[in-house]
Chain A
């Protein structure tokens, strides 16, 4: 299932409807839905925030086979931006020292089983995989 979404935060509710519909169509275990939505939100909002020159809608493709869910989030005609290169966050810091933000990728790594970045033909694609068993 593939759908394009406008590059604005207000598209998030439409994205959550899309993942929910996919889970329902495929009869997938909904306990994974929140983690998948979390990971997609972080990556989608990163693209909206950091691929400033992007003019096109962001594409999200969902597929499930052999007990694994695959999510591909693609942004066409942009400069490379590899979210997987972001450093780990020190979660032991005091409240005063904790930076606001920066947690997204740290959390995604705990929500999914795989995260991969590809850049080809000026298209950034992040591929998430999640075992559904």
Chain B
């Protein structure tokens, strides 16, 4: 189960599991959001490398326009994945509060 919605202007909330079966839908959604600036992971349980690719592709597009994504409420397990992949250096990140 994966859900993605624009919670408020430019703030995207992802929930459930972002895996390879959902990555295409997630990318299509991100591509149509106007000026996205924040992705909220508060309800995201799982992300695979296919999900990371969605974030990286979006970030590359945004950086050509001089902006970028902030990813907030990242669970400790997903934070590990971000560190192992260097994504904590590519995005502004804030972990979930304990």
Residues of A in contact, count (CB < 8 Å): 26
Q: Decide: A98 and B90 in contact? CB cutoff 8 A.
A: yes
Find A103's partner among B46, B57, B85 (CB 8 Å cutoff): B85
Q: Decide: B85 and A106 in contact? CB cutoff 8 A.
A: yes
Q: Decide: A42 and B49 in contact? CB cutoff 8 A.
A: yes
* A1 to B: closest C-beta gap in Å: 21
- Asked if A38 is at the interface (CB within 8 A of a chain B CB), the reply is yes
- Asked if B72 is at the interface (CB within 8 A of a chain A CB), the reply is no
* A16 to B: closest C-beta gap in Å: 7
**Given known contacts A91-B86, A103-B49, A107-B81, A96 and B20 CB-to-CB distance under 8 angstroms:** no
Among the 9-residue stretches A6-14, A61-69, A74-82, A117-125, the one with 4 or more Cβ atoms under 8 Å from chain B is A6-14
* A107 to B: closest C-beta gap in Å: 6
Q: Decide: B77 and A104 in contact? CB cutoff 8 A.
A: no
**Given known contacts A98-B90, A100-B57, A103-B52, A37 and B63 CB-to-CB distance under 8 angstroms:** no
* A37 to B: closest C-beta gap in Å: 7
Q: Which residues of B contact A (CB under 8 A)?
A: 1, 17, 19-21, 45-46, 48-50, 52-53, 56-57, 59-60, 63, 77, 81, 84-86, 89-90
14 contacts between A and B (CB under 8 A): A9-B20, A9-B21, A12-B20, A34-B77, A35-B77, A41-B20, A42-B49, A91-B89, A92-B86, A95-B63, A100-B60, A101-B53, A103-B52, A106-B84
Q: Which residues of A contact B (CB under 8 A)?
A: 9-10, 12-13, 16, 34-35, 37-38, 41-42, 45, 89, 91-93, 95-96, 98, 100-101, 103-104, 106-107, 110
